């Protein structure tokens, strides 16, 4: 009679034949399971069915920040400043935990999320804030899993260094939080463009 609501994250069939993508997906599970923070959506299991890997993850009952931003714009009522500040502080706290994370031997994991954006920030109905999708996070020890020079993440929230394909550190994630902060306070993104290239 024990039941728990979960999320099963799996690879779409057309991507399952890409070994690099599969390796990144499996790497996500192994990476996130090492992060012990209430603001990280927890990976509970990693498995394989019919040759396709899957992750069993904590279910967060709520909405992502992208949806909440859209609702705020549609209603004409911006998010109250204390709520916005609390949300940003929580995101930064989660990222600080990830950036400072070490393995069992105490060696830095070198985690950089690389895709901090409103669609990867969940706000639970209880008010909890959780950061999702470390799937393209790059740990220093796992550089081989990412194609050199490949852009990963959402362009509107990328740091200039990430967009240029340069080496990254924790400041790149902090830059993305700055873009989110601008969007929360101003009601629009700071960088607009008709295409990713224009942005």
Mean pLDDT confidence for 87-96: 97
Q: What is the rounded average pLDDT for all residues in the chain?
A: 85
> How many alpha carbons fall within 13 Å on the CB side of residue 10?
15
Nearest in space to 91 (alpha carbons), one of 179, 155, 27: 179
Cα–Cα distance for residue pair 158/199, rounded to 1 Å: 10
Catalytic residues: 115
Mean pLDDT confidence for 176-180: 96
- Whether the predicted pLDDT of 62 surpasses 70: yes
DSSP H helical ranges for the chain: 19-32, 65-75, 81-100, 160-163, 170-186
Tokens found for residue 31 = 């990476």
The edge-to-edge listing of strands for the beta sheet with 62-64 is 62-64, 121-124, 129-131
Tokens found for residue 32 = 């996130």
Confidence of residue 64 (pLDDT cuts 50, 70, 90): very high
State the pLDDT at residue 149.
45
> How many alpha carbons fall within 13 Å on the CB side of residue 126?
7
Three-class secondary structure of residue 96 per DSSP:
helix
Confidence of residue 8 (pLDDT cuts 50, 70, 90): very high
State the pLDDT at residue 140.
41
Full-model pTM: 0.84
State the pLDDT at residue 139.
47
State the pLDDT at residue 120.
93
47 vs 95, residue with greater confidence = 95
Mean pLDDT confidence for 52-77: 90
The edge-to-edge listing of strands for the beta sheet with 52-58 is 6-10, 52-58, 43-49
């Amino acid at each position: 009679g024990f039941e728990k609501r979960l999320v099963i994250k799996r690879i779409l069939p057309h991507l399952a034949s890409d070994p690099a993508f599969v390796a990144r997906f499996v790497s996500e599970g192994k990476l996130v399971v090492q992060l012990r923070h209430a603001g990280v959506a927890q990976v509970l299991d990693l498995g394989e069915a019919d040759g396709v890997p899957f992750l069993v993850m904590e279910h967060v009952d709520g909405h992502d920040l992208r949806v909440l931003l859209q609702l705020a714009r549609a209603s004409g009522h911006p998010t109250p400043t204390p709520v916005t500040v609390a949300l940003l502080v929580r995101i930064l706290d989660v990222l600080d935990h990830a950036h400072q994370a070490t393995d069992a031997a105490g060696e830095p994991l070198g985690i950089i999320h690389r895709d901090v954006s409103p669609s990867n920030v969940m706000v639970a109905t209880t008010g909890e804030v959780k950061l999702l999708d470390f799937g393209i996070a790059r740990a220093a020890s796992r550089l081989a899993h990412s194609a050199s020079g490949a852009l990963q993440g959402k362009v509107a929230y990328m740091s200039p260094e990430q967009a240029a394909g340069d080496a990254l550190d924790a400041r790149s994630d902090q830059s993305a939080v700055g873009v989110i902060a601008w969007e929360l306070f101003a009601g629009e993104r700071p960088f607009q463009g008709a295409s990713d290239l224009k942005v």
